[in-house]
Structure 1
Amino acid sequence: MIENFDLANFLIQKRRALNMTQKEVALETGLTPAYISLLENEERKPSAATIKKLAKPLRFTHQEYMNLIEYIAKLQKKDDSSPHTKQNPNAITREFDITELTDEDIHKIEEYIELLKIRNKYKQKKD
């Protein structure tokens, strides 16, 4: 993704191409129309979780989704370098080559990762 990427414009274009209102996007994502407006007006930076919520209703391709996650990670990394930001020492990010995987394969991997997270939380509580 290019350095001068305009996230707000990208979100607006995706929404308008689908003839959706901010309210419709909000209803499908569980976000508020006000928050959608803040994103589109560059007043808020979305988290990876927010991008995930927007992906289906705005019909992001997997490539767009992965590029957006990478872009958000870079934004967060810049913010994390601020002396006023606490870093999570347990946070680990990995990149994988998914070019030969189908959408179904990727979805299964995402589900399995979530299952592993739940299992690990359970193990931590048990110990």
Structure 2
Amino acid sequence: MKMPQEQHQTPDDLREIERRLRVLREQTAGGAENREQASPHPIGRAMWIAFNVVSDLIAGVICGLVAGYGLDKWLDTRPVFIAVFLIMGCAAGVLNAVRFLRLYDERQREKREVPAEKE
């Protein structure tokens, strides 16, 4: 078998490759729209949403704890800043989760409205 550098491609070979690429692009472009509309794996989508929400909540709490611990250690005031930043981290996590869910809901509404406008 020849290496790709050793193969001499004729114009017909190149046209065939371009035709095959065009067919694949058309198939994948149409397939992406159909996959999003049909949603063959609703459990996977729900798990993705849940993972994003939980990770937002956990990230807020961890960042609050780390910032509070760092300030308490630096200023030698043990429980004060941990408590304050823990509350702030929880609030930030909830806010981020709500933002994500609103954005997701808006995108889902837009996807539902687009096919109605095409007709």
TM over 0.5: no
TM-score (norm 1): 0.25
Specify which structure has the higher proportion of helix.
Answer: 2
Higher relative contact order (CA 8 A, sep 6+): 2
Max Rg structure: 2
